[in-house]
Amino acid sequence: MPPYKGGLVVGKPLVILGTHWLAEEMHDLISEMPEWKVEAFVENMDPERCKLTIDGLPVVWVDELKRLATTHLAICALGSTQRSRFIEYARELGMNFATIVHPSARVSSRAVLGEGCFVSTQSVVSTKTVLGNHVFINRGVLIGHHVRIGDYASIQCGVNIAGLTNIGERCWIGMSSVILDRVTIGSGSVVGAGAVVTKDVPEAVQVLGVPAQIVKTQVEAK
């Protein structure tokens, strides 16, 4: 799949990787977009969940993706930055990934979104910003101009990221946090809910507070 750049990828049925609450919310949002048709949810941990249905749709075991790879695209509905494991296994089975932007979001035509990104309702991605692969942007996020966000990062509801900011791979940016302009956040770091980040953050740490301070080091991806 080529990366998203200022337009929607259309034309194929869709499966959602994940079977829990975020998967249901993502399905609800995608159901408002006629260019997509979700046909199944995909489970990779508990085979018993394949006996369930979600919103009237089947739950299939992950190995079924080998059969679906020629006809469907996938989007991952795990908020954890460790979703990379699920995604990479799906890729090994032949899956390609959609990049999906809710119609109420505003993404600049000069922004670039990588494969597998999801931009939720009421979010803004400004000019010359680059999102890596499989970045998850939750509801009501504001991302300024010339921002770079690495693969598998998760940006939670109400985050405000100022321009010229760099956020590393697998970062978790907590709800309603604020990141000032020209700040760099190292890969694998966690910004707690409501924090205000005023200076650079090293890799693999957790920061909290106003202004944000390091409270934990050697943090594993959330």
Q: For the whole model, what pTM was predicted?
A: 0.92
Q: What percent of the chain has pLDDT over 70?
A: 95
Q: How confident is the model at residue 12 (pLDDT cuts 50, 70, 90)?
A: confident
C-alpha to C-alpha distance for 95 and 74, rounded to whole angstroms? 7
pLDDT in tens, 123-135: 999 999 999 999 9
Tell me the two tokens of residue 180: 């000032």
Task: Output the pLDDT for position 8.
Answer: 47
Whether residue 29 contacts residue 121, with contact meaning beta carbons closer than 8 Å, is answered with yes
Q: What are 93-124's pLDDT values in tens digits? A: 999 999 999 999 999 999 999 999 999 999 99
Per-residue model confidence as pLDDT tens digits over 33-62:
999 999 999 999 999 999 999 999 999 999
d(CA 173, CA 136): 10
Q: Which domains, ranges and CATH numbers included, belong to the chain? A: 14-97 (3.40.50.720), 100-212 (2.160.10.10)
Neighbours of 103 (CB within 10 A): 12
Share of the chain above pLDDT 90, in %: 91
Helix/strand/coil (H/E/C) assignment for every residue in 52-96 = CEECCEEEEEHHHHHHHCCCCEEEECCCCHHHHHHHHHHHHCCCE
Q: 2: pLDDT confidence band, cut at 50, 70 and 90?
A: very low
Catalytic residues: 134
Kindly compute the dihedral angle of the four CA atoms of residues 175, 29, 167, 78, in this order, to the nearest 10 degrees: 80
Confidence (pLDDT) at 81:
85
